[in-house]
Structures are given as C-alpha cells and as structure tokens.
Amino acid sequence: MKTKTAKRVPVYSLDLLKGIGAPRIEALRAAGFSTLRDLLFYLPKGHLDRATVTPIAQLAEGEHTIRAKVRTLTVPRFRRRVAIAQAVLEDDSGKVGALWFGRYDVKKRLAPGVELLLSGRVGHAKKGGLQFHNPDFEEIGGEAEGIATGGIIPVYPPIPGVGQNTLRRAMKQALEVSAGVVKEYLPPDAAKGTALPQALHDIHFAADTATLSRALPRWIFEEFFLYELAMALRRRAATRERGAGKIDVPPDVDRRIRARLPFSLTAAQERAVSEIRADLASGRPMNRLLQGDVGSGKTAVAFATMLAAVAAGGQAALLVPTETLAEQHCRTIDGWLKGSRTECVLLSGSLKAAARREALSQLADGSAHIAVGTHALIQPDVAFSNLFLAVVDEQHRFGVLQRAALAAKGERPHVLVMTATPIPRTLAITAFGDLDVTTLDELPPGRTPVTTRVVAAADLQPVWEDVRREIAAGRQAFLVYPLVDASDRIAAKSAIEMHEHLARDVFPDLAVGLLHGRLKTEEKVAAMDAFRANRTKILVSTVVIEVGVDVPNATVMIVGNAERFGLATLHQLRGRIGRSTHASTCILAAGDAGGDAMKRLRILEETQDGFRIAEEDLRMRGPGEFLGARQSGAPEFHLADLVRDAGVLVQARDSAFDLISRDPDLRRHPDLRKHLLARLGAKMGLAEIL
C-alpha cells in the first residue's frame, strides 16, 4: 500500500548524542532505535524516588532511598556464576545491610568510604534486622551525579550493552533536541488534555512525585490504547478476509468423526464443536480461542476439528510447546485414527535428519494430513500442500507472531487456539483481544475431586507412607521439583537429587522414573512410556509435565518447593491427577516459606475453580509473575499495570475498537498510524495488515 511520506518533522540521528560513545550508539541501533524520536518513546518501566531520602534509623519494610557511606563490603563467594555481594551502609542515624545477587558491578563500583544514594526494597534479613535487597545505587559526586541523583530517576527496561545511566544521559539529550517538535498523535479524547512535549519530559525526568503522577495517566492509557488498536486491527483484518476454505461437515462425516472417539462428547464439548463448525462453514477464516480448565477435553475438540478439515480435503497442524506433549498428542491421535487412511506426522526439534526430511516431504505433497509438532513446525522449511486448519495448544506459551507464523503456512487457514490456563478477564481481553472465545465449562464424567494439602517440607515422612499405600493399591505418583539441577541460582532441591534420594533411601523396592527437560528425547519418551505402562510407580520430574500429560492411573502428586510456583501453574500441575474414578491427593510441600506463601498456597486447598485461582494469583503476584517469563503470549506493559489499571484498560479497549470501526485503516489519523507502526508494527505483525 502506498502512503504519503512527506516529512514535516525533522528526523534526528542518534549520532547527535554527545558523550555516549560509538559502541553504545551501535548497541542502541541494534536494539531497534534509529532516531532520537524513537528513543523518546522508550518509556521507563518504573522510577526511583531519589528526591525523598529516608534516614537509616527510620527505615521500614518497603521501597526507600538512603544517602549513606559504605562501611564494609564483602564478597563471600563467587561460585557457579553466582555473584553475591554484601555491604554495611551507614549514615548519621544508623546502619543497614545490603545484599546483591548476580551483580558483578557491585564489587567494582563500591569500596568502604564511598558515599552513595541507594534505592530499593527493604526487607527482613535472614539473621534479623533490615536489609536492602538488590538495591540500585549511585556514587555521590560520581560521573552520574545529576543524571541519577536528585529527583525522580527513570529506570528503563534493560537494553543489552547500554547501562541505565547511559540511557538516562541519552534520553536527556533526546528530550532537549526533539521533544519540542514531536507532534501529538493521539486523538484529543485519548490525549487527556496533556501537551505531548511536557508529558514526555515528565514521564522521563519528573521533578517530583506529584509531577510524575500527573504525567502517568496519559502514558498508561496510551500503552493500553496502542495495544488495543493493534488488537482491533488484527481482528478486523481477520474478519474481513474472505475466501477461507469453506468447510462443511455433512452428517455422514460427522458420524465417522464421532465414531473415532472412545467416548461421547460432553455438553460443553458439543457446544464448542458446533461453534467451531459454524466458523468453518462461514467462508471466513476462524480465529477462535478455546479455553477450558485443565482436563476439560480440549484435545478431543481439536481432533474433531482437524478431522473436519481433512475430510474437506485439507491438512491440519497442531502446534504444542513441549516435545513430551507433541509426542503424547501424536500417540493419542494415532490411537484414535487407527485403521483410517488419515496420516499423522510428528515434527520436533530432535527428529533425526532423515525422519524430518520424510515428514516434510509427506506434508509438502499432501500424503500426510495432520502434523503435530513443537516450534519445529513453524520453521521456514516446513511447507504444507493445503493447510486448512492451524491449532495452537497451550496458547499462552506462544506469542501472536508464532500463531501467525503457523497460519502463514496455509492460505488463510482457520485458526483455533487453546489454553488451559484460566485467564482472568482483564488478561483475556489483552492477550486474546483479537479472538472469539469458547469456554469448556464442564469436565468429562468420572473425574474425582482432588484433595489438596499444604505441608512443611520437613514433614514428608507421613507423605511417603501415603504414597506407598497408594502404590500398593495399584496407583502411581508424580513428584514434581522446580529445577533440573543444583546449578540453578537458588539451590532448590533438584529433581535429579530427589530421584537419587527416593530411589535409594525411601523406595528402594519400587521403580522410580525421572523426567526433565535436559534428557534426550528418546530418554524422555522412554520415561513417559514406562510411567504410562505402570512399569515405573513414581515419576520424579520438573515442570515438563505441567502441560497436558495424561496418565489417569496416577492419583498422587507431590510438589516440592511449591512456594516457588504460581498458583495457576500449581493448579495446572494438579490437573494431572484426579483423572480416574479413584480418589486423588495433591501434596504441596512448601520449603523455606513465610506466612504469605503459605497463605497463598492454602487457596489451592480451598478451591479447584481455575478461574478463581487465576484471579487470586493475578491479584497477589501481578500479571508478570502470573504469566511467567516463558509465556510470551502475554503483552508487556511498562507503566501500565493490568491489576491496578484494569478500568483504564477497558476504557482504552473501547476507544480503540471504536476508533477502528470509524477509521478502519487509520487513514484519517496518519500520525497515530505512523506512531503505532513504529511502536508495535513489528511486535504485533501490523505491517501486513495496515
């Protein structure tokens, strides 16, 4: 599409930055900044209040800034890439400790006698007394004086190779040079009466907290607004597309599909199937989210949909986050397809070259109808002869772009995304705002509620006896540990050590299996096979089993260091049991946990309602923690907070969708269009649709 490129606003190059140094300017370019204007819109993710200094004697738990001298600095150990530094700081009123993890710069920058402004979270130290935890600090009179001291200091999301003070210095200059000439791009009602240059200045370098609080609402709104504009555009593009393979399911095909399943569908699954079929028959590409608590039977719905696509002469692809899950889905689907001519192939990263070539050629020539795979499925060399349907399982593990990459393998295929993480409403409208939603609100029959207990890790003896009893009764047990081995930063009990301990000391007479992400694929498959076939009675694993593993005979789950998991993750884990008519028990062993962590875990004792758990998790830990780093489907907001600003989000969504309905290509809002493309074009795949 042609757009007007007349530039009314001068463009300032990064080379104008003084005192930054060529390598850092290169690093900025590498991070995607090409002009000073770009830099201006790299908003802080937070601020340090270095205007208000607390005397050490008056410190309490919470965020504080102190002005103090380093009295002692110790670097007790330097082990396995973990740097720990400890300092004692003092001012006229008293002394306080500070502790840093993984900060190599501390040792270099600090020495006894150095005077600092230091900001961060104060908490209780292990040995009693108060302590700063990983605080930020600046030397008084040091080179950053004025940039990082005095007033409200911005903290930017990290950019590789560019430190905070360099960024702050660059930002100051960018503001001086170009803030004055940046044109307002928000519509008047969205700009909330602020003047852009001032708003920019204040969000980066506010003189005091009052100024910052006046500047924030615009930026919070803007962050949501741009994101929702992108969502509205994506949704509009999807619903405007025509000519998707129209898939009808005649009664005889429907009968044959149902006959392949070993059970009849629940009412909720029936509803999902008919909503999906209406989409398939509409002649427009389907874009639907199927959400349902863990165990609600999403796989069967996906399977019925894939068979409909195959019966109509097309192919279907199922994208999943882990190899274990790909392997399991493939096995399930193969089982259901037994005796049929429909061919299913597996594509995963660890496939041998020859097998991969074979699978690729079958997909390309259409002799394979269904592909199940991990990220390997969205690699450039994977081609389909006729992809009608793309299904993404555990969608929260993938981003918008990965979903799009799979869909791009066909010509306007139908897209079905599935998630087992119950999503609080505010997150649902952000992360999946471009999708229609179907909810499976019913579990298949024959489920038994899971009894959940929170115990202290020290009291495991009775737990082992419970496990032994269940195994004697023919059942099996999962034991889940958070980390693969002890080299991870926090020395949690590792699955490997635990496996050794259990197999040797606790259950020497029983077969104990081990499953973790660092095993070779064959080893993982073998471990799952042995457990599925009830040859191993206990499976010790990391969270690789979190998503989708289905072994109904397992009725006990013990989660070690449970305090380190989010409630939503624990709920997912717990969904692995309670899948047969036998009663199931989930034991959450909390390691070194304070009262808050225990209180949080007790919610799982009270309820099995995934949505309630998700809401609690979101409320207590915030969206970042809730969605986790790996769960890249979630948008990242710098200043906006999905919990605190939920009301603003709804407003922003309404205005964004309203604006797009009035001006579908933003042609009448060229500045906004340009700004949106610059901010989110690449991240949200807007270039192709705007």
Residues 6 or more apart whose Cβ sits within 8 Å of residue 116: 67, 68, 69, 70, 89, 110, 137, 138, 139, 140
In the complex, least distance from residue 371 CB atom to Mg ion, rounded to whole angstroms:
17
Cβ atoms of 575 and 420 within 8 Å: the answer is: yes
* Residue 476 tokens, joined: 């099996």
Residue 298 vs 653, nearer CB to ligand ADP: 298
Residue 203 vs 304, nearer CB to Mg ion: 304
Residue 548 vs 552, nearer CB to Mg ion: 548
Residue 287 vs 421, nearer CB to Mg ion: 421
Residue 524 vs 576, nearer CB to ligand ADP: 576
In the complex, least distance from residue 479 CB atom to Mg ion, rounded to whole angstroms:
21
In the complex, least distance from residue 42 CB atom to Mg ion, rounded to whole angstroms:
38
Stretch that binds Mg ion, among 69-77, 185-193, 331-339, 543-551 (CB under 5 A): 543-551
CB 171: neighbour CB atoms within 10 A?
24
Residue 73 CA, chain-centre distance (Å), reads 37
Determine how β-strand 78-79 pairs with β-strand 62-74: unpaired
Question: What does the angle CA 627 – CA 100 – CA 116 come to, to the nearest 5 degrees?
Answer: 120
Residues 6 or more apart whose Cβ sits within 8 Å of residue 397: 321, 547, 630, 631, 632, 633
In the complex, least distance from residue 447 CB atom to ligand ADP, rounded to whole angstroms:
8
In the complex, least distance from residue 299 CB atom to Mg ion, rounded to whole angstroms:
5
In the complex, least distance from residue 296 CB atom to ligand ADP, rounded to whole angstroms:
4
Q: Which does 294 bind (CB under 5 to 8 A by kind): Mg ion, ligand ADP, none?
A: ligand ADP
Question: Interface with Mg ion includes 422 (CB under 5 A)?
Answer: no
In the complex, least distance from residue 303 CB atom to ligand ADP, rounded to whole angstroms:
9
Q: Which does 287 bind (CB under 5 to 8 A by kind): ligand ADP, Mg ion, none?
A: none
Residue 290 vs 347, nearer CB to Mg ion: 290
Distances (CA, A) of 403 to 247, 394, 493, 617: 21, 11, 36, 26
Alpha helix positions (H), 607-645: 610-627
Residue 301 vs 477, nearer CB to Mg ion: 301
Question: What does the angle CA 344 – CA 347 – CA 349 come to, to the nearest 5 degrees?
Answer: 165
Stretch that binds Mg ion, among 132-140, 179-187, 381-389, 540-548 (CB under 5 A): 540-548
Residue numbers 545-584 binding Mg ion by CB under 5 A: 548
Residue 110 vs 417, nearer CB to Mg ion: 417
| Separation of alpha carbons 248 and 341, rounded Å | 20
Q: Which does 424 bind (CB under 5 to 8 A by kind): Mg ion, ligand ADP, none?
A: none
CB 211: neighbour CB atoms within 10 A?
17
Question: Interface with Mg ion includes 44 (CB under 5 A)?
Answer: no
Question: Interface with Mg ion includes 292 (CB under 5 A)?
Answer: no
In the complex, least distance from residue 655 CB atom to ligand ADP, rounded to whole angstroms:
35
Beta strands in 302-394 (DSSP E): 315-319, 344-347, 370-373, 387-392
Cβ atoms of 211 and 275 within 8 Å: the answer is: no
Residues within the interface to ligand ADP (CB under 6 A): 263, 265-266, 269, 292, 294-300, 420, 444, 548, 550, 579
Per CB under 5 A, residues contacting Mg ion are: 548
